[in-house]
């Protein structure tokens, strides 16, 4: 499964219930360096969520989290000159417990340890029940050009600006030359099923597929590739995926997202699940060669999420036979 952050992690909770051997290819596009620390929000959201350490209310970060370090950084920012305070990105609320993860990751990266091995080490603390691989060990970051002309890190647009300023361009910096992390291609080409969860199709799954070797593996794997729509009734289920879709000129519509992914082998999909409310999208997609079914796609609880995962696997089975 290719995974973004909150949506991908929640879907994985359901998928894990089915007891299969799951490899998660995590998104590095959200990665950002703050105060010199390498932060990998999507990898950590998967790790904390499956490891039982995530905040249930927020969906990201740690439960029982505190923000004393960030509060103190805010005090510094208020006390030092405005020019220097601009260097203090307190808009990204790094939690104290979360910081421990970033400190360890950064220290190991600086020692020359690859991100995939760093991730493996960090996951020893968290009983995930799945194997988590970053898509790449190379530094990649998603950058966004705003309507006002500025180009900022995706996180700055997403977290600081709350995507209030429209984006005119989304660029996966470093992705074109990034290589897949060890095990990524093998996992995709030897899989029984490849799943695209209801994650953000642009900045989560799209950022993973921006890595050429990963895209190529998804296109040529003998396994069926099945995705689930993150859009229900013309709106993203969570987050601001519509702002990302708008930036790349794709309608916020369950069928349009499937068309954006495209049919293999030029695109990435064999099958696609839309929510029951989007059943009208089924026939048009089938005519385009994408096997589409409608099912309830709200991850309202673990049971509903598990049923979604099972429905996706069932569709994959139908495609295989």
- Residues in touch with a second copy (CB under 8 A): 35-37, 66, 68-70, 72-73, 75-76, 79-81, 84, 87-88, 96-97, 99-101, 103-104, 106-108, 110-111, 121-122, 124-125
d(CA 171, CA 125): 33
Residue 32 C-beta: closest distance to a second copy, Å: 13
Nearer to a second copy, 1 or 40 (CB): 40
Q: Are 258 and 272 in contact (CB under 8 A)?
A: yes
Ranges of H-type helices in 66-160: 68-79, 82-85, 96-110, 115-123, 154-155
Nearer to a second copy, 58 or 125 (CB): 125
Nearer to a second copy, 72 or 164 (CB): 72
Nearer to a second copy, 100 or 302 (CB): 100
d(CA 235, CA 277): 12
Nearer to a second copy, 43 or 269 (CB): 43
Residue 22 C-beta: closest distance to a second copy, Å: 21
d(CA 198, CA 3): 9
Structure tokens at 58: 């927020």
Q: Which residue carries 């309202």 as its tokens?
A: 300
For 47, phi then psi, to 5°, come to -65, -50
Residue 80 C-beta: closest distance to a second copy, Å: 5
Nearer to a second copy, 43 or 316 (CB): 43
Residue 102 C-beta: closest distance to a second copy, Å: 9
Residue 116 C-beta: closest distance to a second copy, Å: 14
> What per-residue string of b and e applies to 99-133 under the rule 16 or more CB within 10 Å gives b?
bebbeebbebbeeeebbbebbbebbeebebebebb
Residue 3 C-beta: closest distance to a second copy, Å: 22
Neighbours of 199 (CB within 10 A): 30
Nearer to a second copy, 97 or 161 (CB): 97
CA proximity to 59, closest of 127, 125, 8: 8
Residue 88 C-beta: closest distance to a second copy, Å: 7
Residue 86 C-beta: closest distance to a second copy, Å: 12
* Signed CA dihedral, 53, 56, 57, 58: sign only: positive
Nearer to a second copy, 21 or 87 (CB): 87
Half-sphere exposure of 49 (CA within 13 A, CB side): 28
Q: Are 118 and 109 in contact (CB under 8 A)?
A: yes
């Amino acid at each position: 499964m290719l995974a973004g952050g909150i949506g991908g992690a929640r879907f994985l909770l359901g998928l894990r219930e089915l007891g299969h051997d799951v490899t998660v290819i995590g998104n590095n596009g959200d990665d950002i360096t703050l105060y010199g620390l390498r932060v990998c929000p999507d990898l950590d959201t998967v790790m904390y969520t499956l490891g039982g350490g995530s905040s249930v209310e927020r969906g990201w970060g740690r439960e029982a989290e505190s923000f004393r370090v960030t509060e103190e950084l805010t005090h510094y920012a208020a006390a030092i000159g405005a020019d220097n305070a601009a260097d203090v990105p307190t808009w990204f609320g790094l939690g104290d417990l979360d910081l421990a993860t970033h400190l360890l990751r950064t220290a190991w990266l600086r020692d020359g340890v690859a991100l995939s091995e760093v991730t493996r080490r960090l996951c020893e603390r968290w009983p995930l029940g799945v194997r988590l691989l970053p898509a790449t060990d190379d530094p990649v970051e998603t950058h966004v050009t705003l309507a006002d002309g500025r180009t900022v890190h995706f996180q700055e647009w997403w977290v600081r600006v709350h995507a209030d300023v429209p984006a005119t361009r989304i660029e996966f910096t470093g992705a074109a030359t990034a290589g897949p992390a060890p095990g990524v291609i093998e996992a995709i080409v030897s899989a029984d099923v490849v799943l695209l969860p209801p994650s953000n199709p642009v900045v989560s799954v799209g950022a993973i597929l921006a890595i050429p070797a990963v895209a190529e593996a998804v296109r040529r794997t003998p396994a069926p590739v099945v995705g689930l729509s993150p859009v229900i009734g013309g709106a993203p289920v969570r987050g601001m995926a519509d702002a990302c879709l708008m930036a790349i000129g794709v309608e916020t519509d369950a069928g349009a997202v499937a068309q954006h992914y495209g049919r293999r082998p030029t695109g990435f999909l064999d099958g696609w699940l839309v929510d029951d409310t989007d059943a009208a999208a089924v026939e048009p997609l089938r005519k385009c060669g994408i096997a589409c079914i409608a099912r309830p796609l709200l991850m309202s609880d673990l049971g509903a999420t598990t049923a979604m995962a099972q429905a996706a696997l069932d569709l994959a089975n139908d495609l295989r036979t």
